[in-house]
Amino acid sequence: MKVLLMHPTDDFNLDRELWPESEDLVQDLGLGRLFEAMAGGDKLLSAVAKTAVLTPLVHPEEIVWRQQALADCTSHPEFARQLFDLATEALESHRRQTFWGLNQLPESIRYTSIQALETLLGFLARLRHLAEGPGQAMASPAFVRLRAMLISELDDSYLKLVETTLRELDLPRGLVMSAQVGRANRGTDYRLHKAPGRGLRERFANRGQPSFSFTVPDRDEAGLQALGELQARGVNIAANALAQSVEHILGFFTSLRTEVAFYIGCLNLQRVLLAKGEPICTPVPLPSAYPALQAERLYDPGLSLTLEGNTVGNDIEADGKTLTVVTGANRGGKSTFLRSVGLAQLMMQCGLFVAARSFRASICPRIFTHFKRNEDPSMTGGKLDEELARMSITVSHISPKCLLLCNEPFGSTNEKEGSDLGRQVFIPLAAAGVKVFVVTHLFDLAESLYEKELDTALFLRAPRQAGGQPFQLVVGPPEATAYGEDVYTRIFGKPPLPELSGRRA
Amino acid sequence: MTPSILYPDGARESPSPLQDRQFAVDLNLDQVFASVCEGREQLDLLSLFYSPLHDVDSVVYRHQVIADLERPQVLAAVQSFGHGMRQVRELLRSMRSLHNHWQQRRLFIDAVSAYCDAVGSLTDKLVRMGPASRGLDAFTKYLSAYRSSAGFTSLAEDAGVVLSALAQIRYTLHIKGTRVAVSQYLGEPDYAQEVETIFAKFREMPAREFLATFRNTLDMDPVEGQILDRVARLNPGPFGALDRYFQAHRDFFDSGVTAFDRDAQFYLAYLGHIAPLRSSGLPFCYPHLSDRPSSSRVKAVFDLALADKVNQPGSSRPNVVTNDLHLGPNERIVVVTGPNSGGKTTFARALGQVHYLASLGLLVPANEADLVLADAVFTSFGQEEQLGTPRSHLEDELVHLHEVIAQASPRSVVVMNESFSSTTLRDAAVLGRSVLAQLLESGSLCIYVTFVDELAEANGETVSMVVTVHPEDPVLRTYKVVRKPPEGLAYAAALAERYGLTYGAVQERVGQ
């Protein structure tokens, strides 16, 4: 029985290994704030949010599966909550009640498992009732499937069968087992069997089978111990099957809780943003074959969460573009824009809504960031060494259709070298179909890319600020100044000295 | 008469093994042989390694057997026979340690059955492969006859019948309280499977195991014993047959087969031992032997004991240096000089090993070898210096050399290492020259490792060989031994450097 609330064919694996670039993504895109808002203080919700966001889905239909389930939860948040609470209660009550010791004997494993299964059986029944009743309201394929499965798999006759079996496995009429003559004539392949319905004597008399018996004297300690071991051999495999069944049912409840937790996290984030009056939208995932990106009022939800007021956001129209170069004024919102692109892509590909008025984009198999880092703490190499090493790792992982977000790349050397490195790296990546976003102060780099007049390149500029009010990025050729004078002037209260030689162009 | 694969003519020549094994200790062959025989202690193989052969035909006889065993299929066949026989012996040993009557009988028939399998499979394989050696060919004929004998046929077939009847017995136990009832199994369904089926719908991931593990030794506890006795009563047919089988086949071993088992292990042990060395690229060859002293030629010889050490599992590819020796018909004495720890002793040991291993009829650690079939390999390795008793040490050494010279023949090989190191340089020169003169008179082939350069003066019968050092850095060893006049102590300074004994180094060390 699979839960399949997050994927049409696979249960969500909370323990899956994340891509190696994940830690960079968390740091560079400020994902921590997002996870925090989704978690609302709950550790499990936080873990699910992190894994889900960082393991992007790559097929539109997978994304839509989650989008529809999320829409269901948005309309009926109380049902999601009830499912979550029931699963949590089942797991908690099991945890409180059952203790698997080390080296437990088969007899005690059998006993413990029967107890645990009886408890879980109650929760399975409650789950079915929940599906039958409030579950009716759910309309998304994911919830409809789950409901149908619970109703048919956990019907009354099944629950009754489990109950009867558990009672029989209590072995009220003694232990019946069989074995084969094996190595050195010792017994082997021990199996447990159902005890006959009537007394021993009757059973053998009826069957007309010879039977030889003996009794272990009460005071024969070695004999009693041997008898115990023999019983353990008989019960061993059945006890294992019982204990594994307990684990499997717990696994089901765990999956259920995990997958519902994802949607509860989505609802948490949604509530916060809506309360602020920020727009959110259901994004349109497009196949990755053609590079597409269109957004209205795309903003950084992480930033919004820390602001009193609202964000400005950007409109972008980048269909067919694989290279987007952003230049312009300091503090003009370039990095924020870069983050909002990365966040929107990740949120869309995990089935979340996107922080924008509208968003549609082609799917990226993986998403990479290349932001400035502090000086190499191990002192084994310089800053440029460190940066090139990182870029080299990224290049070894990246493939066409992936997204690469670069913030001030190769700024740790002079403009000429940095620009040259930039050209060496970005032109072939973009040509191969990697979606490259570059925020840069390297005018030489930006200008030389602009002069190539590529159809697949887009140039955005952060306009000069007036009164500290951030503006939207505008489409336009790179400029040789980042209006650093403005910042200087603001801080020093007077403008800097004029340039000596003519401004370079 | 059962044929032997160790000695020609079927006449099992059993020379009494050498009692004085100091030469093997000096050549480090004792370590090699111990390692070769490891795990086969029961067979007393070691005495075979101390029973050298005395005529060339006996050596060739073994070479032929080895050549057969070098065919992978033949080797595999004989190896698996060896494993089978070991299993037979282990089963019989276990049988004697058990108390339950039915268990003893069962292990007996298991042992016989393993024996029949081993014999049958070996016969089939040998007949199919057709060994070329005199030794294995004769044994194959013997084995074929034995295998088709009426006695062997019933031994094998009867065991199969009894065992398959036992394997079909399943019985039911009903335990209530302390009472155990044993009856025939009547096909009751397996409860564990029912449980698995009922809960199968929840199984999405592999779950951990909750299986207890139980004692898996052969012996039974008292409850199991009582059950087995009752199972036997429930199944008088198969268990009765088990009893009768034991009575009928108590002495089932064939002496020819057991002799082969042991003798084959002599070859297998050695081949198995050198296999990893060969696969790492070290050469082994069939030596060409003559029964009278003549010229000697050995190419790429190396110290087998050292190679074993270097080739321990986990260490990298062995970096074992090989050397050549080429002596004309009249050259009888090889004086080896050169820097300390440069490989002099290793070279001398290697030559001693090659001669001795050749006399066992085995492959030798070299690429090519033309040798005399030595009637004895003598050694004199100055024992570790024992402080305070230099006089008695020198005495011991001279007494031993006296005995060696008395016994040495033109077919003997004498390996001497740093003799007379417990006396002065002048004494060592004087004594050394005298001993060498006497050895020359005996006509033996002598390898003499010394720090006394003047003993290396070449004449028609004495050859000087020197351990070379790296031409640019005398501290680096090449471990190559070449024919040339002694080089004096030019490397002394380098050696002093290496051991921190230069003026500056000593001053510094003393100063701290």
Whole-number pLDDT of residue A488: 62
Whole-number pLDDT of residue B342: 73
Using the structure block, give the residue that is written with the tokens 């035909």.
B57
Kindly tell me if the per-residue pLDDT of A379 is higher than 50.
Answer: no
pLDDT band at A480 (very low <50, low <70, confident <90, very high): confident
Mean per-residue pLDDT, A117-131: 96
Percent of chain A exceeding pLDDT 90 equals 66
Bigger pLDDT: A490 vs A227: A227
- Topology of domain B283-511 in CATH is Rossmann fold (3.40.50)
Cβ pair A223:B192 closer than 8 A: no
Whole-number pLDDT of residue B91: 95
pLDDT band at A199 (very low <50, low <70, confident <90, very high): low
Whole-number pLDDT of residue A492: 61
Which of B48-62, B153-167, B439-453 bottoms out in mean pLDDT, i.e. has the lowest?
Answer: B439-453
Q: Could you report the per-residue pLDDT of B59-78, keeping only the tens digit for each?
A: 999 999 999 999 999 999 99
Whole-number pLDDT of residue B501: 33
Q: Could you report the per-residue pLDDT of B207-264, keeping only the tens digit for each?
A: 888 888 888 888 999 999 999 999 999 999 999 999 999 999 999 999 999 999 999 9
Can you tell me whether residue B250 is helix, strand or coil?
coil
The reply to whether A191 touches chain B by the CB within 8 Å rule is yes
CA B175 to chain centre: 54
Query: How many domains does chain A contain in total?
Result: 1
Longest distance between any two alpha carbons in chain A, whole Å: 117
Whole-number pLDDT of residue B272: 94
For residues A438 and A446, give the distance between their C-alpha atoms in angstroms, rounded to a whole number. 9
Q: A268 to chain B nearest CA, in Å?
A: 30
For residues A485 and A498, give the distance between their C-alpha atoms in angstroms, rounded to a whole number. 10
Q: Which chain B residue's Cα is nearest to A121?
A: B199
For the record, the structure tokens of B91 come out as 């089963």
A408 falls within a domain: yes
Write out the H or E segment, with its range, that includes residue B190: none
Cβ atoms of residues B374 and B355 within 8 Å:
yes
Bigger pLDDT: A390 vs B272: B272
Identity of the residue in A194, A226, A247 whose CB atom sits nearest the CB atom of B208: A247
Burial of B102 (0-12, 13-18, 19+ CB in 10 A): buried
| Angle A453-A456-A460 from CA coordinates, rounded to 5° | 75
The reply to whether A244 touches chain B by the CB within 8 Å rule is yes
A254 falls within a domain: no
Using the structure block, give the residue that is written with the tokens 């002598």.
B446
Whole-number pLDDT of residue B385: 42
Identity of the residue in B166, B199, B226 whose CB atom sits nearest the CB atom of A245: B199
Q: Could you report the per-residue pLDDT of B440-488, keeping only the tens digit for each?
A: 999 999 999 887 777 877 778 889 898 887 766 655 667 888 887 776 5
For residues A195 and B181, give the distance between their C-alpha atoms in angstroms, rounded to a whole number. 13
Q: Which chain B residue's Cα is nearest to A252?
A: B202
For residues B424 and B221, give the distance between their C-alpha atoms in angstroms, rounded to a whole number. 73
Mean per-residue pLDDT, A416-422: 79
Whole-number pLDDT of residue B508: 47
The reply to whether A85 touches chain B by the CB within 8 Å rule is no
Q: Could you report the per-residue pLDDT of A237-251, keeping only the tens digit for each?
A: 999 999 999 999 999
Kindly tell me if the per-residue pLDDT of B393 is higher than 80.
Answer: no
Whole-number pLDDT of residue B491: 43
Average pLDDT, chain A: 88
Backbone angles phi, psi at B170, to 5 degrees: -125, 145
Bigger pLDDT: A5 vs B453: A5
What is the domain-level CATH number for residue A326?
3.40.50.300
A322 falls within a domain: yes
Residues 6+ positions from B185 with CB-CB distance below 8 Å? A178, B170, B171, B172
Identity of the residue in A180, A184, A224 whose CB atom sits nearest the CB atom of B169: A180
A345 falls within a domain: yes
Mean per-residue pLDDT, B100-116: 96
Bigger pLDDT: B373 vs B509: B373
Cβ atoms of residues A57 and A66 within 8 Å:
yes
Write out the H or E segment, with its range, that includes residue A256: helix A221-276
Q: Please state the domain extents for chain B.
A: 53-166+250-264, 170-221, 283-511
Kindly tell me if the per-residue pLDDT of B388 is higher than 50.
Answer: no
Residue count of chain A? 505
Whole-number pLDDT of residue B357: 97
Q: Which chain A residue's Cα is nearest to B201?
A: A1
pLDDT band at A139 (very low <50, low <70, confident <90, very high): very high
Using the structure block, give the residue that is written with the tokens 């086969």.
B40
Cβ pair A176:B230 closer than 8 A: no
Cβ atoms of residues A305 and A380 within 8 Å:
no
User: For chain A, what percentages of helix, strand and coil (3-state, to nearest 5) are there?
Assistant: 50, 15, 35
SS (H, E, C) B416-482: EECCCCCCCHHHHHHHHHHHHHHHHHHCCEEEEECCCHHHHCCCCCEEEEEEEECCCCCCCEEEEEE
Cβ atoms of residues A358 and A296 within 8 Å:
yes
A20 falls within a domain: no
Residues 6+ positions from A53 with CB-CB distance below 8 Å? A31, A34, A35, A346, A347, A350, A352
For the record, the structure tokens of B434 come out as 């005298």
A477 falls within a domain: yes
Bigger pLDDT: A505 vs B434: B434
Cβ pair B170:A181 closer than 8 A: yes
Q: Could you report the per-residue pLDDT of B266-296, keeping only the tens digit for each?
A: 999 999 999 999 988 899 999 999 988 888 9
CA A396 to chain centre: 24
A253 falls within a domain: no
For residues A80 and A5, give the distance between their C-alpha atoms in angstroms, rounded to a whole number. 11
How far the first Cα of chain A sits from its last, in Å, is 66
Whole-number pLDDT of residue A221: 92
Distances (CA, A) of A73 to A80, A262, A283, B159: 6, 11, 17, 72
Q: Which chain B residue's Cα is nearest to A171?
A: B176
Kindly tell me if the per-residue pLDDT of A448 is higher than 70.
Answer: yes
Which one of B191, B197, B204 would you mutate to disrupt binding with A, by most A Cβ within 10 Å of its Cβ? B191
Bigger pLDDT: B42 vs A254: A254
Q: Which chain A residue's Cα is nearest to B211?
A: A240
Buried b / exposed e along A330-346 (16+ C-beta atoms within 10 A): bbbbbbbbbbbbbbbbb
Which one of B182, B223, B226, B229 would you mutate to disrupt binding with A, by most A Cβ within 10 Å of its Cβ? B223
For residues A368 and A25, give the distance between their C-alpha atoms in angstroms, rounded to a whole number. 7
Edge-to-edge order in the sheet of strand B368-372: B288-290, B368-372, B296-301, B323-327
C-alpha count within 13 angstroms, C-beta hemisphere, residue B252: 29
ipTM: 0.79
Can you tell me whether residue B414 is helix, strand or coil?
strand
Helices A60-75 + A221-276 axis angle, to 10: 80
Distances (CA, A) of B476 to B345, B373, B470, B492, B497: 17, 36, 5, 13, 12
Cβ pair A186:B103 closer than 8 A: yes
Cβ atoms of residues A407 and A373 within 8 Å:
no
Domain that holds residue A412: 280-492
pLDDT band at B382 (very low <50, low <70, confident <90, very high): low
Count of CB atoms situated within 10 Å of the CB of B213:
8
The reply to whether A162 touches chain B by the CB within 8 Å rule is yes
Percent of chain A exceeding pLDDT 70 equals 87
DSSP letter (8 states) at residue B306: H
Across-strand partners of A296? A358
Cβ atoms of residues B337 and B466 within 8 Å:
yes
| Angle B180-B184-B185 from CA coordinates, rounded to 5° | 100
Q: Could you report the per-residue pLDDT of A43-77, keeping only the tens digit for each?
A: 999 999 999 999 999 999 999 999 999 999 999 99
Cβ atoms of residues B468 and B456 within 8 Å:
no
Identity of the residue in B175, B185, B195 whose CB atom sits nearest the CB atom of A231: B175
